[in-house]
Structure 1
Amino acid sequence: MAQPYLHEHVTCVAAPATWLSGPSGQLTGGADGLYVNDRRVLSRLVVTVDGRSPVPVTVRRTGAASAVFASVLRELGDDGPDPTVTLSRRRLAEPNGGTETITLTNDSHQTLSVEVAVEASTDYASMSAVKDGVAAAVSADGMSVEYSASPPAEDFRWQVTIPPRESWTVELRFTRTDGPPVARSKRFSTLRVTADDRRLDALVRAGVQDLDALRSADGEDVYYTAGSPWYLTLFGRDSLWSARLGLPVGHEVAAGTLRALAKRQGVRHDPDTDEEPGKILHEVRPPDAAYYLPPVYYGTVDATALFVSTLAEAYRWGMPRAAVEPLLANVERAMEWLAGHDGFIAYQSSAKGLTNHGWKDSGDGVQHADGRLATGPLALSEVQAYAHQAALDAAWLLESFGREGSGRWRGWAADLAERFRAAFWCEGGYPAIALDGAGQRVDSIASNMGHLLGTGLLTAPESAAVAARLAELRSPFGIRTVAPSSAGYNPISYHLGSVWPHDTAIALLGLVRDGHAGEASAVIRALLDAGERFDFRLPELFGGDDLPTPYPASCRPQAWAAAAGPAILTALLGLDADVPGGRITFAPLAPSPVGAFRVRGLKIGEGELDVSVTAAGTLTVHNGPVGVEFLMADGSPAVISAA
């Protein structure tokens, strides 16, 4: 069966709940529904007035969790071409369900007497079954759902009389009741920006709202669920990257993500789940919603290294020592897993799990330039870069806390870099996407190479070569996953020519760290152009063509796409936080690709940064966390505002 398409859907999110429908607001099939914890609470919601379906006119998102649908009743009210009876639906997703407020307004010159009817039901389907297009009515299996209305009515039918120029309203509430109630999270971030290019303001604002809405919790530990609707749960790679790119909104989510993953760090060898000692998981699903993957699944080759570097980066951004220290044993176990590989860090697909274990995890996501699928075990280029950076980060962490092992990991990183240099570079001067099971280079020109930047794996000439190749991969709206010269290129494929905002944002930060300011500025402009095309709610992915074409089944919002907005601010400021070292360093892009701008509410440590940059790139600090020194990249003090 085919995966349902989502590109015309309106999504309201308050993790772990998500509510999807088409522009009419009616829930009639496919992926439509209100879901809580990966089970469908509401599969059908159809509103009629005197048996007629309202004609949709417009829909507007009013926040990450809310939307308003407007429609007209053409056959009711005054004679003439103008509609005089309208119906609006104000939708709000909440963590345990949601509410819909229906308002029927009579702007005609006569009293309106009609029957308003609501058809509401559920099929209890799991999200995974919906995604695979095989959802059918199933038993509740312990799940309980409560529907209510105010004012109440038998069978959700109301006989309504509305005088001219008046309205009638009913509020519907749908709640999953077989779990503990979850309070709706309060606004988490005050991050905001004002720029000459106002698209930056809108992109950051929408991204921060979506990150807030995608927050969920494992007890006291807050993390970003990966995305709505398919991945509204804890992931390894996705949740770590989202927290890391989103560090400008605070280190608390990174800390919660790390603790939630550390609790589930692998302790044994289990071929059914791909668990191994020290390994960080791929994803977690509620047992009643797991489909073809186990509820706790470890089929990821990159999350383990990302765990280490996320902890190090969160510590640099101000995660307290007392919160970091309990996770150092997990870092040591993670590093032993990385070092336990024979040669490069590689994976072999298993019959019970995913074919590919990197971020391009679709079955055809790793190909040679001639279109042949790469056969495993596969050693991905970006995974070696992650491991190299993780080893250096682990050495720094262990040294910072007086633990042994720093020398071992620095030596291991240096050896890995030399072996990578000898094995991965293709004729034409670019790194292969992977080495296959025969040790041959998988030679597609792919965006994976952007993840090597800023990790310390590359020499300066190698970094310049990668930056030049990324310029070739760049579409008008971001960095393509593979080059159009690849035989398998398809601009609206999942991983073979599409653009992923998080992939582009990771490359952007690497370009800035390695000093490629010109290409970084071009990438920022491309992401802003993309944001404008998607109402500033960036999807999981979109086409690598010049439109850009929506990818029909894309999640929207997706946490690491939402985090691209905050990541752009890090790049624009050239921000390097080192709270343990007592300094924050800036190297703003000059000239600024967004004109003059001012950032407020950027969280570092226990304080907030307020900083402005002129169009020419001159930076002024207006306020910031206490106890740190503000420096420019050349070591000179930053300008501090006297106001």
Structure 2
Amino acid sequence: MPEQLQPFLHDLEIVHRAPTQAWSGRDGQIRLAAPGTATVQGLMHSDVRVLSEAVLEIGGREAEPAGSWHDDDGGLVVVGLPRHLGTTWGDPTLRLTRARRVEAGGMHEEIELTSSTAEPVTTEITVRLAADLAPMESVKSGIATTPLAAQEAEPGLVWAAGEVRATLEAPGAVVDLSEPARPVLRWSVTASAGKPARVRWRVAAEDRIAVVVGARRAAPHGWRGLRRPAETRLARFLERSLRDLDGLRLSLPALPDAEFLAAGAPWFFTLFGRDSLWAARLLLPLGSELAAGTLAVLASFQGVKSDPESQEDPGKIMHELRRTTLTLHGEELSLPPLYYGTVDATPLWVCLLHDAWRAGMPVDAVERLLPQAERALAWIADGVRDGYLNYLDTSGHGLANQGWKDSADAVQFRDGRLAKAPISLCEVQGYAHEALVHGAQLLEAFGRRGDATAGTSPAQLRETAAALADRFRADFWLEDAQGAFVAIALDGDGAPVDTVTSNMGHLLGTGLLSPEEEGIVAARLVHPELDSGFGLRTLATSSAGFWPLSYHCGSVWAHDTAIAIRGLLASGHVEAASRLAEGLLKAAESFEYRMPELHSGDSFATVGRALPYPSACRPQAWSAASAVVVAQALGAL
């Protein structure tokens, strides 16, 4: 058994306001990991865990948990019953309520003790604390950490390590530092009927090398003004998703007015090219403001040179932004703080620019990004002029797979063999085709001729797209017992990788397929080997590598299904779109309408309720954004 395990998340509570997040048990307690186990519990800020323990007790014991909920502002409220105080039978006479809120850069709690007795109850409330200031990659890898000693400082306690500093204040508390690494806050309180006792404490975090900061404006108007659907489940899904998305909004210190969405909590609380682009694109029916910010932020990092270590190339859109190099224990992975190892973000950036323009993005904002669009189109055209957009990690320590299914085993043949690089993914060719055609439309609409030497004149872009479609039709189509389908990829030898996967759903609406071919894909998507009843499986049950709890080889990803639904609607396959949308809505209901990053690929007919993938991130930007596509497919938008 491995020494370290990635922590499970499915049974934990989160309160978030990017770039800060607090994870706890459902009882509200933030606990240190037990020996031999891993936990993400704690307050994390800017990819550093600030607090690793915050255990509340009253009268020397924990109150028995009675229930918890999230309020309208996303805060967590937990109710406990301290039956060891004041009652020995019958009705509980005391109630302890803990309300937790997170803002960008901090967390605060208000603790209230209420009593039903006229006689005063005097007791002690304590909060036991620990802080390890551990980097996110250590937490994710399940590496044991050691709490740091707290220092007394005005106005309370301070923990510091490197560029990170956490400051705690607790008005009215006596701070017990007999164990400096496990300080205790102590309040003596008295409560009686109609006279509750209240205490509060707060911790603020600062990271001097933070690469992202919290959004400083209200959520986009289109989110706040959305009409509530009549269907109760759909209304709850949309409301929960938009609340979660509001808490995922970020900006750059240098571009504070350009907002984008963090990919997801807890591991991806930063800018991701592909994730942020798709989330903004799925949300376009609610307005173009977020898309405009996402496009501007990614344009500011557009590649200008060729660098094998970071995978940067001129015109390329980045993949991931971190405060420091990302190295995960037990994996041959070491990514620089600014990493470009993605094959799809560049065409997706062009696609979003076109769609945002059509959705009402201000013309001057679109025009300012056209030079970056031409450079992105040059990168795409160069990649597909005589072949396909493909990827190959040349650094030896980057991502082996650089599409959205980026785990090491994500691209495999039906018999389980892994495809060898360079790999040309089917959906990426669809993105490229759409980017070339819509890029040509953009240039013409704004009176730009492109660069003939780079192959980016509108006529050249269309010719390149048409040739790509012809090659794709000859190289990617296969047949099995169920009929025709699109291979997930071509491997390094040009052989089609013969697994039936959800990837082909991304081709719908890109213009790469003929209407007849789109009909074939639509039929395969709703076949039981892919359609689980809770969304699309990433890999069909007919493949040797299928496993419903595999990250990319049998599980269901909400955004993946949402993209297919979006394409089904665009290509006129409304019934299939509605069927998949209803499946996602059933999955959302299983998760109290906070759609996780992914869930198990078990069949609805077998389990009746979507099962969690226990280490799935939640909330996840593109999973939450899938609610908008579900609403479109079910006629509510």
TM-score normalised by structure 1 residue count = 0.86
Alignment correspondent of 1:186: 218
| Residue type of the alignment partner of 2:305 | R
2:248 to 202, 209, 214: 214
Shift of 1:167: 1.7
Are the aligned partners of 2:413 and 2:419 in contact in 1 as well (CA < 8 Å)?
yes
Structure 1 residues 475-499: Cα deviation after superposition (integer angstroms, max 9, x where no partner): 1111111111111111111111111
Are the counterparts in 2 of residues 11 and 21 from structure 1 also a CA contact under 8 Å?
Answer: yes
2:445 counterpart residue number: 400
Partner residue, 1:74: 83
Alignment partner of 2:511 out of 443, 456, 465:
456
Q: Distance in 1 between matches of 2:74 and 2:326?
A: 23
Contact 1:9 1:23 in 2 (8 A): yes
The partner residue of 2:362 within 297, 310, 320 is 320
Q: Which structure 2 residues correspond to residues 382-401 of structure 1 after superposition, within 5 A?
A: 382-401=427-446
Q: Which residue of 2 aligns with 1:128?
A: 137
Cα distance in 2, alignment partners of residues 289 and 439 from structure 1 = 32
Aligned residues: 575
Counterpart for residue 638 of structure 1:
none
Cα offset for 1:249?
A: 2.5
Q: Which runs of 5+ in 1 are unaligned?
A: 573-591, 600-643
Q: Report the counterpart of residue 9 of structure 1 in structure 2.
A: 12
The separation in 2 between residues aligned to 1:67 and 1:289, in whole angstroms, is 31
Aligned partner of 1:328: which letter? L
In the alignment, is residue 409 of structure 1 matched against residue 453 of structure 2? no
The answer to whether the aligner puts 1:87 opposite 2:96 as a matched pair is yes
Conserved in 1, the CA contact under 8 Å of 2:80 and 2:97? Answer: yes
Cα separation, 2, equivalents of 1:295 and 1:99? 30
Deviations 1:190-227 (A, max 9, x none): 24344442211111111111111110112221001101
How far is the alpha carbon of 1:51 from its aligned partner?
1.8
- C-alpha distance in 2 between matches for 1:119 and 1:259: 44
Q: Which residue of 1 aligns with 2:572?
A: 515
495-504 or 178-187, larger mean C-alpha shift: 178-187
Range that drifts further, 169-178 or 250-259: 169-178
Q: Corresponding residue for 1:352?
A: 397
Corresponding residue number in structure 2 for 1:145: 166
Taking the aligned partners of 2:325 and 2:121, their CA distance within structure 1 comes to 47
Distance 2:294 2:598 in 1: 23
Match in the other structure for 1:27:
30
Q: Which residue of 2 aligns with 1:200?
A: 234
1:393 Cα deviation after fit: 1.1
Amino acid at match of 1:509: R
1:251-266 superposed matches below 5 A: 251-266=288-303
Deviation at 1:567, TM superposition (A): 2.2
Change (3 A) 1:183 1:483: closer
- Whole-angstrom distance in 1 between the partners of 2:535 and 2:520: 18
**More deviation, 259-268/179-188:** 179-188
User: 2:425–2:489: 8 Å Cα contact kept in structure 1?
Assistant: yes
Q: Is the 8 A contact 1:14 1:65 kept in 2?
A: no
Q: Which residue of 2 aligns with 1:637?
A: none
Bigger shift: 74-83 or 239-248?
74-83
| Deviation (angstroms), 1:326 | 1.5
One-letter amino acid matched to 2:91: D
**Corresponding position of 2:476:** 424
Distance 1:380 1:135 in 2: 38
Q: Distance in 1 between matches of 2:130 and 2:69?
A: 25
Q: Deviations over 1:144-163 (max 9, x none)?
A: 11111233433311122223
- CA apart distance, 1:524: 1.6
Aligned partners of 1:193 and 1:200 also within 8 Å: no
Alpha-carbon spacing, 1:361–1:147, altered in 2? closer, same or farther (3 Å): same
How far 1:289 moved relative to its partner?
7.2
* Residues 289 and 111 (structure 1), Cα distance of their counterparts in 2 relative to 1, 3 Å cut: farther
Correspondence for 2:205: 176
Moved over 4 A (4+): 178-185, 288-291
Alpha-carbon shift at residue 134 of structure 1 (Å): 1.9
Partners of 1:426 and 1:83 lie apart in 2 by 67
Q: How much does 1:184 deviate?
A: 5.7
Kindly indicate whether residue 263 of structure 2 is the aligned counterpart of residue 229 of structure 1: no
Between 496-505 and 524-533, report the one with greater CA deviation.
524-533
CA distance, structure 2, for counterparts of residue 64 and residue 375 of structure 1: 48
Structure 1 pair 432–288 and aligned structure 2 pair: CA distance change class (3 A)? closer
SS in 1 for 2:134: coil
1:589-600 to structure 2, matched below 5 A, reads: 597=636
Structure 1 residues 425-504: aligned runs within 5 Å = 425-428=477-480, 429-472=484-527, 473-504=530-561
Is contact 1:478-1:501 (8 Å) kept?
yes
Shift of the alpha carbon at 1:244? Answer: 0.4
Tell whether the 8 Å contact from 1:368 to 1:442 is kept in structure 2 after alignment.
yes
Instruction: Please tell me whether the aligned partners of residues 478 and 498 of structure 2 are also in contact (alpha carbons under 8 angstroms).
Output: yes
Deviation at 1:127, TM superposition (A): 1.5
Pair 1:160-2:215 in alignment:
no
Q: What letter corresponds to residue 111 of structure 2 in structure 1?
A: I
Give the aligned partner of residue 112 of structure 1.
121
Partner residue of 1:560 out of 622, 628, 631: 622
Instruction: Tell me the amino acid that sits aligned with residue 275 of structure 1.
Output: E
1:549-588 map, 5 Å: 549-572=611-634
| Mapping 1:369-388, distance limit 5 Å | 369-388=414-433
Segments of 5+ residues of structure 2 without an aligned counterpart are 33-38, 149-159, 177-184, 329-333, 450-456
Give distance in 2, aligned partners of 1:183 and 1:215.
Answer: 6
1:552: how far off? 0.5
Residue type at the aligned position of 1:91: R
After the TM superposition, which of the residue ranges 390-399 and 66-75 deviates more from structure 2? 66-75
Q: Higher mean Cα deviation, 557-566 or 108-117?
A: 108-117
Task: Answer yes or no: is the 8 Å Cα contact 2:115–2:194 preserved in 1.
Answer: yes
- TM-score, length-normalised on structure 2? 0.87
Structure 1's 250 and 195: CA in aligned 2 closer, same or farther, altered over 3 A?
A: closer
Q: Is the 8 A contact 1:125 1:135 kept in 2?
A: no
Structure 1 residue 106: deviation in Å? 2.2
Q: Alpha carbons of 1:183 and 1:353: their partners in 2 closer, same or farther (altered >3 Å)?
A: closer
Letter in 1 for 2:517: E
Q: 1:123 to 1:485 in 2, by over 3 A?
A: same
Query: Residues 191 and 534 (structure 1 numbering): CA distance in 2 closer, same or farther, change over 3 Å?
Result: farther
Query: C-alpha separation between the residues in 1 aligned to 2:338 and 2:144?
Result: 22
Between the aligned partners of 1:355 and 1:468, the Cα distance in structure 2 is 31
Map 1:240-279 to 2 at 5 A: 240-279=277-316
Q: Mean Cα displacement is larger for which, 150-159 or 125-134?
A: 150-159
**Aligned residue in 1 for 2:591:** 534
Task: Determine the C-alpha separation between the residues in 1 that align with 2:369 and 2:217.
Answer: 26
Among all aligned residue pairs of Structure 1 and Structure 2, give the percentage whose two residues are the same amino acid: 46
Deviation at 1:542, TM superposition (A): 0.5
Q: CA deviation at 1:72?
A: 1.3
Q: Distance in 1 between matches of 2:498 and 2:613?
A: 26
Q: Is 1:6–1:552's contact at 8 Å kept on the other side of the alignment?
A: yes
State the one-letter code of the partner of 2:620. Answer: Q
Task: Give the C-alpha shift of residue 363 in structure 1.
Answer: 0.9
